[in-house]
Structure 1
Amino acid sequence: MRNRTRRAGERIARLRLAGALDPDIDAVTPAVVIGLDAGYLRCRHRRPERNSEVIAGKVLNFDGSQHRFAFARKGNSASEFAAAIVSAGVRLGTPATVLSDGDAGLWKLQRQVVPEATLVLDWWHIAMRFEHALQSARGIGQGTTSAYLRTYAVRNLESAKWKLWHGGASACLGRLAKLANRLDCGHVRDVRSAVAARRHVNDLIEHLHANRHALVNYGRRRNEGLPISTAFVESAVNEILSKRMIKKLQLLRNRWTVQPILNMRIAVLNKTLGGSFRLLYAAFQAENDHDVPSVAALQTPRLRMLSAY
Structure 2
Amino acid sequence: METFMPCPKQTNTSVRNRLGKTAEEIIDSGYVAPAVSSAGNSVAPVTVFLDGAHIRCRPEYQKRHLDVVVGKVESAQMCRRFGLVQQAAQSPSRQLRHDLKAIGWNGDSPVTVISDGEPALPNLVRLAVGGPARHIHDWWHISVRVKHVENAVIGLVQAKNFPGIPELFERPAERLRWYLWHEKARAATTDL
Q: Residue 53 of structure 1 corresponds to which residue in structure 2?
A: 67
The two structures have a TM-score, normalised by structure 2, of 0.60
Q: Residue 124 of structure 1 corresponds to which residue in structure 2?
A: 140
| Partners of 1:50 and 1:149 in 2: CA distance | 50
| Partners of 2:54 and 2:191 in 1: CA distance | 36
| Partners of 1:43 and 1:134 in 2: CA distance | 33
1:59 is displaced (CA, Å) by 1.7
* Match of residue 50, structure 2, among 36, 42, 47: 36
Q: Secondary structure at the match of 2:48?
A: strand
| Cα displacement string for residues 184-232 of structure 1 (whole angstroms, at most 9, x for unaligned residues) | xxxxxxxxxxxxxxxxxxxxxxxxxxxxxxxxxxxxxxxxxxxxxxxxx
1:142 is displaced (CA, Å) by 3.6
Is the CA contact 1:96–1:118 (under 8 Å) kept in the aligned structure 2? yes
Q: Which has the larger radius of gyration?
A: 1
Q: Residue 98 of structure 2 corresponds to which residue in structure 1?
A: 83
| Partners of 1:29 and 1:86 in 2: CA distance | 13
* Match of residue 153, structure 2, among 119, 137, 140: 137
1:133 is displaced (CA, Å) by 2.1
* Match of residue 181, structure 2, among 165, 170, 175: 165
| Partners of 1:54 and 1:145 in 2: CA distance | 45
1:5-16 → structure 2 map (5 Å cutoff): none
Relative to its length, the structure with more strand (as a share) is 2
CA 1:147/1:140 → structure 2, altered by over 3 Å: closer, same or farther? farther
Tell me, yes or no, if structure 1 residue 111 matches structure 2 residue 162. Answer: no
Is the CA contact 2:172–2:191 (under 8 Å) kept in the aligned structure 1? yes
| Partners of 1:32 and 1:160 in 2: CA distance | 31
CA 1:29/1:69 → structure 2, altered by over 3 Å: closer, same or farther? farther
- The amino acid of 1:76's aligned partner reads S
The two structures have a TM-score, normalised by structure 1, of 0.40
1:273-288 → structure 2 map (5 Å cutoff): none
Is the CA contact 1:36–1:58 (under 8 Å) kept in the aligned structure 2? yes
1:147 is displaced (CA, Å) by 7.9
* Match of residue 72, structure 1, among 64, 79, 85: 85
| Partners of 2:178 and 2:94 in 1: CA distance | 39
Is the CA contact 2:51–2:121 (under 8 Å) kept in the aligned structure 1? yes
**Structure 2 unmatched runs, 5+:** 1-38
Q: Residue 153 of structure 1 corresponds to which residue in structure 2?
A: 169
| Cα displacement string for residues 71-103 of structure 1 (whole angstroms, at most 9, x for unaligned residues) | 221462222221222122222222332110111
Is the CA contact 2:74–2:103 (under 8 Å) kept in the aligned structure 1? no
Aligned-residue identity in percent: 29
Relative to its length, the structure with more helix (as a share) is 1
- The amino acid of 1:135's aligned partner reads N
| Cα displacement string for residues 159-183 of structure 1 (whole angstroms, at most 9, x for unaligned residues) | 443443333446534542xxxxxxx
| Cα displacement string for residues 208-259 of structure 1 (whole angstroms, at most 9, x for unaligned residues) | xxxxxxxxxxxxxxxxxxxxxxxxxxxxxxxxxxxxxxxxxxxxxxxxxxxx
| Partners of 1:146 and 1:79 in 2: CA distance | 55
Q: Secondary structure at the match of 1:50?
A: coil
CA 1:141/1:57 → structure 2, altered by over 3 Å: closer, same or farther? closer
**Structure 1 unmatched runs, 5+:** 1-25, 177-309
Is the CA contact 1:101–1:125 (under 8 Å) kept in the aligned structure 2? yes
Is the CA contact 1:140–1:147 (under 8 Å) kept in the aligned structure 2? no
- The amino acid of 1:172's aligned partner reads A
- The amino acid of 1:69's aligned partner reads F
Is the CA contact 1:28–1:93 (under 8 Å) kept in the aligned structure 2? no
- The amino acid of 1:109's aligned partner reads L
Is the CA contact 1:33–1:61 (under 8 Å) kept in the aligned structure 2? yes
- The amino acid of 2:128's aligned partner reads V
- The amino acid of 1:31's aligned partner reads P
Q: Residue 96 of structure 1 corresponds to which residue in structure 2?
A: 111
Is the CA contact 2:73–2:99 (under 8 Å) kept in the aligned structure 1? no
1:253-272 → structure 2 map (5 Å cutoff): none
